[in-house]
A and B are shown apart, each in its own frame.
Chain A
Amino acid sequence: MPDWPTLLASNDRRGGTAAARKTAPSELIWKVALSESIRSSPILKDGVVYVTSRDGRLYAFDARTGKERWTFQAAAAIDSTPSTSGGLVFFGCDDGAIYAIDLTAGRLRWKAEGGGPVWTSPIVKDGVVFAGSNDGVFKAVDLQSGKVRWSRQFEGQICSTAYAADRLVYFGCGDGRLRAVESASGKDAWVHQAGDSVVASPALASGAVLAGSEDCFFYALDAQSGTVRWKVETGLGIYSSPAVAGDVVYFGGKDGYVYALNVADGKQIWRSDSMRTLTAPPLAGESVVCMQTFYGSTQAFDAKTGARLWRANLGGSLQSTPILTDEAVYLATYPGVLYALR
C-alpha cells in the first residue's frame, strides 16, 4: 500500500499515484461515522489512515480494517488536513496551535501556540514545519522542538496551504497576494498581487507556481521571479487547489468546471461539464482525475480527454480530496463519514 503522507499525496502536489481506477468503487470495505464534520482530507501512511474532525480529534484507523488505532483530542475543532514526516503527524487547530503527534502512539510531542485558527495543512521541508493561520500569521517551526524559527504577520487570512521548495516557500493570502518567502528567514523573495484573495494552495511544476484566485484567474508565475508566465480566466472565483500530473494542471472552479491546462502555456486541454460549483482540490493520477463536489458525488474523468469515467454518490463533500490506491478509495464526507471503498 503506497503512502499518501500529505495533502494531494505528496509535497510536490502531483496529486496522486499511478492508480488508474477506471471504474467506480462498488463495494464498501469499511466506514466510520464521526460525531462532527470532516472539513479536511484524509492521509495515508504505513497502512494507517489519518483524518481530523471538527470534533477536535485526530483519528488513526487501520487502512485495511477501519479499526481505530488511537485518537488524539485537541483543544478545539480541527479543519486542517494532517501531514506526516519523521515519525510525526502534524495538524493545525482552531485554538491557533500547530500540533505534532507521535505517529505510533498518538501522543503529543509538541504544540506550537498561535493566535488565529490554523486551517492550512502544515508542510514539512528540511526539518521545518510551515503553516499559515486565519489571523494572517505565517510561521516556520522547528520539526523536532516545536520552537518558532520565524513568524510574519500579513493583512489577510492565510487559508492557502504552503508549497515548500528548496529555498522558497509559496502561499496565497486573503489580501490577494501570492507570496514567495525565503524558507530560512521568511523575507519576501517576491510578491504577486492578484485581483482578489488567493485561498487555493499553490503547486509547483516546470519552474512555475500555479494557483487560482477569487479574482477568477488561474495564474502561472515564474517560481524565481514571480513574473506572470500566463493566466487563464474562468467564470467565477477559484478556491480549489490545483494538482499536477505530467504536463497538465487540474483544478475546479466555482463556475462548476474541472479545468485541465497545459503547464507550459496555459492552453486548455479539456474542460468538464458544469457541476454547479467546485471548491475541493482534484486528485490527479496518471490517467484519472477525481473531484468531490458540493452535492455529494465523487466524479472521475479520463485525465487525457476529460471523458467522465465514473461517479459515486456518498453525501456532501466539500474540501476533501480522496485517496486513490490500487487497493481502495478513501473518502471523507462533510457530514463526518470516512469510507474505504473497493
Chain B
Amino acid sequence: MNRRTFVYNAALGTLGLAGFPLRAAGSGPRELKGLKIDVQAPDVPMSPLGMPGLFPGRVVEAFHSAALVNRRVSEEAVRAMIDAGMKALSGESNAKDAWAKLFVPGDVVALKVNPSGVPGTVTSIPVLREVIRALTSVGVPTRNMIVYDRNSNQLEVNGYHTLVPPGVRVVGLDQRWVVKGETRSGYDPNSFCEMDCFGERETRSYLASIVANEATKIVNLPCLKEHNASGVTGCLKNLAYGSFNNVNRTHTDPKTYTDPVIPVMCTAAPLRAKSVLHIMDGIRAVYHGGPFAWNPEFQWEAKTLLIGTDPVAVDRIELEIVEQKRKEVGVPSLWDRDPKNLGSSGEMQKTAFKNPFYREPGHIKTAAELGLGKWELDQIDRRRIKIE
C-alpha cells in the first residue's frame, strides 16, 4: 500500500504533497477552508503507459460529417474516426498496430464509460463496441473486458449490459457480483481517499475494486460535456469521480473542492498507472447543464472524438471547445465568478446564464502540476482529422 497526504491551502490556492509545495492550483485563492487529503491505494509501479502515457501533449481531434445520421450515432463513422485517430496518435500505419502499442492479449481491460447523460449524451454504444472490437483485434478476450461505472441503474438504462458482445462484463460499482464463485463488492476497503470537505458524516471515498485489484489497463471513455461544478466532465473527472464513491460531497456549496480533489484522486497509483488511453465521445456535446444534460437545448452535434494518452491535454482541448461554444451562444465563461449568475439546479436546466456552483475548470491545470499531463496550449500537439 502507498499512502500520501496532500494539503490544499485554499487561501493561497496552493496544493502541497508531503511537505513539497506544488504550484498554485488552477482557480486561485477561494473562500474555502484548507483541505487535507489522504490517498491510500495499492502501490502499482508506473510504466511509460501510465498517465500521461506514451504521447504526452498529443490530442487527436477526429471529426466525421456523417457521425450522426438522422440523430443516430453511426457505427461505420465511429470506426473510421477511431481507426484514423489511433493511427494519427501513434504514428502507426494501421490501427491494429496502434492498439498493440498499448494492450497485450493477457490484459484485463476496464472500460470506464460515462452513463450519466441519459439518454443522449452518454458514452455511445457504437464507441464502446468499437473499442471492444479493437481490443479483440489485438487478442484481448471479451471475458477480460469490464465495462464499469459507479451507478448500475444508469448503466442499465442505457442498455450497456445487453448491447455489448457476449462475455463482456458490465459492472455497476454500487452492486455486488460473483466471480469464480467468490462474491465481490464494488469498492476496495483498503483503497480510499480520506478528506473532510464540508463536515460530512462519511469522510472516505473508496476506490473501485476493479481498478485497485482486477484490471491491468483502463480505457477511459468520457463525454465532451460541461459540468456544473468542475467546469467540464472530461477524462480526469470521469476517472476520478467515476471510480471513487462518495464524491458528490465535494460540491455541495457554490464553492467546491472539485479542484484539487479530481486531480489528486487521479494520482492514486492504480488509476494513474493503468489508464493508458482516453477516447472522449463528443459526437453529441454539451455546453451547459451537465453532467445530466436533461435540456437538449444545451446539446450540439459536434461529431467529434478526442483521442489521446494524456488526459490533461485532452481535457484542455475539451475545455477550449466548450468555451468556444459558450462564446458563440453568448453565455458566461466556464471561469465566471459573478455571484449574480448563481442559481438553483432548476434554473440551470432552463437557462445557460445560471449555475449552482462556481465552476472549477482549473482542476485540469492542477492535474498538470501533479504531473498527469500537459496544460499549456503551446505544449499540446492538436492533430485535427476531418472525415467527409
Summed over the interface, the residue pairs from A and B with CB atoms below 8 Å come to a total of 73
**Are B119 and A276 touching (Cβ within 8 A)?**
yes
Q: Is the Cβ of B156 less than 8 Å from the Cβ of A319?
A: yes
Q: Check A174–B162 contact: CB distance below 8 A.
A: yes
Let me know if A39 and B156 touch, CB within 8 A. Answer: yes
Q: Across the two chains, which residue of chain B brings its CB closest to A214?
A: B163
**Pair B163/A116 contact, Cβ less than 8 Å:** no
CB proximity to B under 8 Å, residues A159-188: 159, 174
Given B152, B166, B175, B177, which contacts A136 in the complex, CB threshold below 8 Å? Answer: B166
> Which A residues are CB-close (under 8 A) to B156?
39, 279, 318-319
Mark interface residues in B153-174 (1 if CB within 8 Å of A CB, else 0).
1001101011111110000000
Across-interface contacts of A294 in B (CB, < 8 A): 118, 153, 157
Chain B residues, Cβ within 8 Å of A134? 162, 166
User: B119 touching A216 by the CB < 8 A rule?
Assistant: no
Q: Given B72, B152, B157, B163, which contacts A174 in the complex, CB threshold below 8 Å?
A: B163
Q: Is B350 at the interface (CB under 8 A from chain A)?
A: no
Docked pose: A114 CA to B176 CA in angstroms: 22
**With an 8 A cutoff between CB atoms, is B178 at the interface?**
yes
CB pair A77–B294 under 8 Å, yes or no, is: no
- Chain B, residues 101-119, CB within 8 Å of chain A (1/0): the string is 0000000000000000011
* Surface stretch bound by B, among A80-88, A231-239, A261-269: A231-239
Contact A199 B162 (CB under 8 A): yes
| Complex CA distance for A255 and B156, rounded to whole angstroms | 15
Asked if B340 lies at the interface with its beta carbon under 8 angstroms from chain A, I say: no
- B119–A199 CB distance below 8 A: no
Which residues in A have their C-beta under 8 angstroms from that of B159?
Answer: 199, 214, 237, 239, 254, 279
A319 to B161, CA, bound (A): 13
Residues A197 and B119 in contact in the complex (CB < 8 Å), given A235-B71, A294-B153, A319-B156: no
- Assess the B153–A334 pair: CB atoms within 8 A: yes
Q: How far is the CA of A254 from the CA of B159 in the complex (A)?
A: 10
Q: B247 to chain A: which residues have CB within 8 Å?
A: none
Q: A37's contact among B71, B152, B161, by CB below 8 Å, is which?
A: B152
Task: Give Cα A76 to B184, complex, Å.
Answer: 12
Q: Which residue of B lies closest to A334 (CB)?
A: B153
Shortest distance between the CB of A77 and any CB in chain B (Å): 7
The answer to whether A135 touches B166 (Cβ under 8 A) is yes
Which of A116, A156, A316 lies in contact with B153, CB distance below 8 A?
A316
Bound complex: CA of A15 vs CA of B178, how far in Å? 33
Within the assembled complex, what's the spacing in Å between the Cα atoms of A226 and B157? 29
23 chain-A/chain-B pairs, Cβ below 8 angstroms: A36-B176, A37-B152, A37-B175, A39-B156, A54-B175, A77-B177, A94-B177, A94-B178, A116-B166, A159-B162, A174-B162, A174-B163, A174-B165, A196-B163, A236-B71, A236-B120, A237-B159, A254-B119, A254-B159, A276-B294, A277-B118, A277-B119, A277-B157
A236 touches B162 (CB 8 A): no
Kindly list chain A residues whose C-beta atoms are within 8 Å of the C-beta of B161. Answer: 119, 159
- A197 and B157 contact, CB distance less than 8 A: no
Contacts of A299 in B (CB 8 A): none
Which B residues from 282 to 324 make CB contacts under 8 A with A?
Answer: 294
Q: Which of A217-248 contact B (CB under 8 A)?
A: 235-237, 239
Contact of A122 with B by CB under 8 A: no
Q: Supply 20 further A-B pairs (C-beta < 8 A) apart from A197-B163, A254-B159, A255-B119.
A: A37-B152, A37-B175, A54-B176, A76-B178, A119-B162, A135-B167, A156-B166, A197-B162, A199-B163, A216-B72, A239-B159, A254-B119, A276-B119, A277-B118, A277-B119, A279-B156, A279-B159, A294-B118, A316-B153, A318-B153
